[in-house]
Amino acid sequence: MKPPITLSVFREAGFAAEGTEVSDRLVRYASESLGIPVRRVTLEELEQEDERFDIITLYSVLEHLPQPRTFLRSALRLLRPGGLLVIRIPIREALLVHLFGARHVVYREAPRHIWIPSMCGLEYGVQCEGPRMISRLPTSVIASAGSFSLSIYSGGSSAFTDTRSLGCYLSRRVCGAGLAIAGIPFALCEFLTRVTSETDFFFRK
């Protein structure tokens, strides 16, 4: 379960990777522009097709779901015994989340972000469903610097920038990039704590 571009990286590395997506636009983009298999299908439909996978990734997924545990159980049923579950999710103890509080982008994206777990809560919640955590890794300094920038100025994101005026679009993007550069020292401090605004968790079934 990957964004199309990330999925293409896995395929280039030799994985027989495929994705699921709820957006028709992204499904078309993946198939027409990237030539990679992304299906518009639910987990329940995959179960009925008796699909099973060695690795399942949930990158920036669970925080958007009103019933994350139900979704997680469905994903785990699709994972083969000994398989790897990778979850990338915002964590409330991260340094920059503490620094900005309710202004941090992971909270300001409500209602797209429905819940932000604690580190212990995420680990405990997943392990209650059976798999054991084997590793936890911070995401990149660049990603954290981007969170720093968007927490100060959400208009710097391509998702929020007004594209009707090229000059306005460029100025907002330049401003966002400048703030991201200014945030690199803060992002580096967050990275060194090993708990970043988005953190990767690895579980073995």
8 A C-beta contact, residue 7 and residue 36 = yes
How confident is the model over 10-20, as pLDDT tens digits?
878 888 888 88
Q: Is residue 35 part of a domain?
A: no
Range of the structural domain that residue 188 is part of = 42-204
What's the CATH number where 146 sits?
3.40.50
The amino acid sitting at 26 is L
Q: Any idea which of 82-96, 108-122, 143-157, 171-185 has the lowest mean pLDDT?
A: 143-157
**What token pair was written down for 36?**
């990679």
Q: Is residue 25 a part of any domain in this protein?
A: no
Position 88 in a domain:
yes
d(CA 119, CA 93): 7
pLDDT tens digits, one per residue of 93-141:
999 999 999 999 999 888 889 999 999 999 999 999 999 999 999 999 9
- Residue 86, in any domain of the structure: yes
For residue 162, is pLDDT > 60?
no
* Domain assignment of residue 131, yes or no: yes
Q: How many domains does the chain have?
A: 1
- Which has the closest alpha carbon to 58: 1, 9, 12? 1
Burial class (CB in 10 A: 0-12, 13-18, 19+), 50: exposed
